[in-house]
Amino acid sequence: MPFINVKTNAKLTAGLAEQIKTQLGQAITAIPGKSEGWLMVGIDGDQTLYFRGTADPAAMVSVSLYGSASGNAMDTLTAHITGILTDTLGIASDRIYVSYMCTEHWGWNGSNF
């Protein structure tokens, strides 16, 4: 039950959002047991976002996971996410933050896992 939320100040078309969603669906498999079949993705483009005092293209990505993941798996996913945003939106890798939140409490379909 992963959720990846991308917030960026980069210009985003529907086509680019679809491309990012598809690539994130492939990238989530870096976390053992996670797949696109349970992945929810939010993408907020054209946001007001400043990093290092400028409005140059940047992104904040939040990854929420049911359960936990190893540091190595999260490192791999961070590399994938960074590459996706660099390739699709032209955001420099040093202007992308990725945060992780792991939880044992996740609700779906009216109850919790």
Band the pLDDT of 90: cuts 50, 70, 90: very high
Statement: residue 37 has pLDDT above 90: yes
* pLDDT computed for residue 113 by the predictor: 87
Mean pLDDT of 95-108: 96
Is residue 113 included in any domain, yes or no?
Answer: no
Q: What is the mean pLDDT of the chain?
A: 97
Give pLDDT tens digits for 39-86.
Answer: 999 999 999 999 999 999 999 999 999 999 999 999 999 999 999 999
Domain annotation covers residue 78: yes
Query: Other CB atoms closer than 10 Å to residue 2's CB: what's the count?
Result: 22
What is the SS3 string spanning 83-108?
HHHHHHHCCCHHHEEEEEEEECCCEE
Domain CATH code at residue 83: 3.30.429.10
Q: Give domain status of residue 68, yes or no.
A: yes
Element (H, E) at 18: helix 14-27
Q: What's residue 22's pLDDT?
A: 98
- Amino acid 87: pLDDT: 97
Tell me if 48 is assigned to some domain.
no
Residue 112 placed within a domain: no
Domain count, the chain: 1
Residue type, 13: T
Domain of 96?
A: 26-39+61-107
- Residue 91 counted as domain residue: yes
Q: Is residue 87 part of a domain?
A: yes
Residue 5 belongs to some domain of the structure: no
Q: Which residues pair with 108 in a beta bridge?
A: 111
The reported pLDDT for the residue numbered 55 is 97
Alpha-carbon span 108 to 24, nearest angstrom: 21
* pLDDT over 90 at 104, yes or no: yes
- 3-state secondary structure (DSSP) of residue 3: strand
If residue 75 lies in a helix (H) or strand (E), which one and from where to where? helix 71-89
CA gap 94, 113 in Å, rounded: 36
